[in-house]
Structure 1
């Protein structure tokens, strides 16, 4: 009888533990949950950084001027100040309008910073000093805050005061000029905001590292993320070549990347990217087209070391060969022999890519003012954390009153800020921009 009672009690205990575990697993925590970010970042590189922090669970409070972030106007939109570039970076944030040119707006911002963990901006430092929002000003109200400044050029050099945008940094970093080295007639810009986005990524990981350091030391600090130096390091990481040695043993430039034939290859009916890289892949490619003997006999390309000296020859031969069959035929052959390949997609092709659709990369959500919108889920997969789209991009000032109330402002103080134009809020008839539970994944 005693054994039976013991078994029943044990079973009840086990079931209770399992229920508790199931409930705890049902609500996964977020990596940066509890971190509050005051986000004065504008245009793109800063908003990219804060989008990442927001995706990781930080409470990102986007501080905007009354007219809103200028990036709200980029691209085709259904409604003013809700353009697609903004929709792509505005998620998992709350928007508050504070006109920091007004004394009341600046004081309100400083009050928000008192309880914040991170302050981030990409306004030119001289303008932040004039506004009374330099690191020393923010630190005076919160010594433990991490202050992140995204700038065009490092502030300890002669370019410190120069304005910078993506095209400017593509030119300055050598990226635009690489096209000439690679066989094009003129310098060119990569048709994407590559410098903004790479600097945003650098800023996000610097922010997380600084927050981790503060957790260990208890001390905040100022961190500067310059676009020019970030991209110079990126480009030179590929292209220092012989300049990596002192004195230089050769000129700059990595020959494989600067090969005039390193571009999408023309097939008989389109274009394809094919990149056999190691000896096994090159030999497999030539064997698949019954030219293995030719490959083995050609001392310019038959080993990795030889190809490193003759990438122009290796790629020129590929260019000639690939013209002989259709894109579909080459894709099938390369897939069969495990040779890296991919058709050259258009943007529309990417939107309908079967891989992206199958993993739920694209999510359709119902926005309260913009209707059905398309969002891209965070790319990284986490086994035990909630990395999701919790908030859809807010309208200008959508959360002004909410954020000020949380910061301890009284109704009278908020009314005074509204009356003086130091803050604003949108029309109350529209619902909050929270994602609906019926979000459709593709």
Structure 2
């Protein structure tokens, strides 16, 4: 299947069609949340300071201010430049707030309050608004006013410590995981609040903090025995942190394979290592208790054949496996291409090949909402629209 061609002017559908979002977020956490909302049909108005979102300038792009990171997480939005320290800029934002369904920002609480757009001030203008705060640290703790970025929160939530158990060195993981997971959390929290409003007509304030989000994320499995009172073990899931948990080296490359449950283990032993049958690794419980030994034995075994030979055998046995791919290889991946995952979008600065929404809806499908805007590209039009607002609420809808 060829990549879908998406015209920037295509009428938006999707499950969030008709929702208007006033987006005061920057960098990645908040913009990733609102990018997904735009792909799902929301009208996202990105409010930028005169210098623009810093993310415009941190990666390669076809022109200044249109770096790849910015273009990806701000696609399909409208850019409005407002200086909120200027009375006219603040007035314009207050007008936009009255027609919004969602107000989302990533400033510290003290900063947004100084500008006059804290929750109490915004909800006074629009009582039904869903107001989402994206913070580094939640307001109820002593670190509330600390600056935080992805690296900061990776350190706080234990990721480098886990990496040290795997590799012997404390390292960050090779993706801005905290930003993206917190962005997804902000998305589901905001849409849950919209669902509540749909049922009751009530707006509310939502808070999503990167540290609390990542602490919850890391402790899903790593709480382990520390979950109990008194603790039964330290906080760590042994299989995830054993140094031998890594892609296996084959005769000509690397392979990911997980011979995990008893059915898979038996099939592998019968096909490859019959003399392991009936050993003290026969059950999942036994293997979990001696996971380092299991991984070491498998590492020796996988070195004996090529990656292609192992993929053929393991897939025939229904054992999860995959070659170790580079990021560039994803753009030519047979499965993603056949699934129509990539969407080609025309823009004033050239063609763009976006990874599309990973979700599927039978009645309200989302799609890449269009290219990212140049700085301030929509300021005049959006402000002109304020002079002739539609009847009812946001986008002409009548509120409850």
TM-score (norm 2): 0.92
Deviation of 1:73 after TM superposition, in Å, equals 1.1
- Within 5 Å, give how 1:67-146 maps onto structure 2: 67-146=51-130
- 2:193 aligned with 1:216, yes or no? no
The counterpart of 2:263, out of the listed 268, 280, 287, is: 280
Alpha-carbon distance in structure 1 between the residues aligned to 2:79 and 2:221: 39
**What residue is the counterpart of 1:403 in the other structure?**
382
Equivalent residue number for residue 164 of structure 1: 148
Q: Which residue of 2 aligns with 1:366?
A: 346
Does the Cα contact within 8 Å between 1:28 and 1:385 map onto a contact in 2? no
1:191 is aligned to: 174
1:298 aligns with 2:279: yes
1:385 and 2:364 aligned:
yes
What SS class does the counterpart of residue 37 from structure 1 fall into?
A: strand
Does the CA-based 8 Å contact 1:39-1:61 persist in structure 2?
yes
Q: Which has the higher contact order (CA 8 A, sep 6+)?
A: 2
How big is each residue's C-alpha offset from its partner over 1:30-81, in whole Å with a ceiling of 9 and x where there is no partner? Answer: 2111111000010000000001111111111011111111111121111010
Q: Which runs of 5+ in 1 are unaligned?
A: 1-26, 411-442
- Post-superposition shift, 1:249? 1.5
Deviations 1:69-108 (A, max 9, x none): 1111121111010010011111121111111111110111
Question: How many residues of Structure 1 are paired with residues of Structure 2 in the alignment?
Answer: 379
Contact 2:38 2:369 in 1 (8 A): no
For residues 76 and 141 of structure 1, the distance between their equivalents in structure 2, rounded to whole angstroms, comes to 40
**Greater Cα radius of gyration, structure 1 or 2:** 1
Q: 1:330 maps to what in 2?
A: 310
Contact 2:226 2:234 in 1 (8 A): yes
Q: Deviations over 1:402-431 (max 9, x none)?
A: 111222269xxxxxxxxxxxxxxxxxxxxx
Deviations 1:386-415 (A, max 9, x none): 3112321111111111111222269xxxxx
Q: Distance in 1 between matches of 2:197 and 2:254?
A: 50
1:371 Cα shift? 0.9
Contact 2:12 2:369 in 1 (8 A): no
Take 2:77 and 2:13, find their aligned partners in 1: how far apart are those partners?
18
Say if 1:237 and 1:190 are closer, same or farther in 2 by CA, change over 3 A.
same
Taking structure 1 as the reference length, what is the TM-score of the superposition? 0.84
| Cα RMSD, aligned residues only | 1.4
- What 5-or-longer segments of structure 2 have no aligned partner? 1-10, 390-400
How far apart, in 1, do the equivalents of 2:208 and 2:119 lie?
14
Aligned to 1:422: none
Tell me how far apart the structure 1 counterparts of residues 13 and 138 of structure 2 sit (CA, whole Å): 37
Q: 1:165 and 1:28 mapped to 2: Cα distance?
A: 33
Question: Segments of 4+ in structure 1 off by > 6 A?
Answer: none
Question: Does 1:341 pair with 2:321?
Answer: yes
CA contact (8 A) 1:28 1:386 kept: no
Match of 1:12 in 2: none
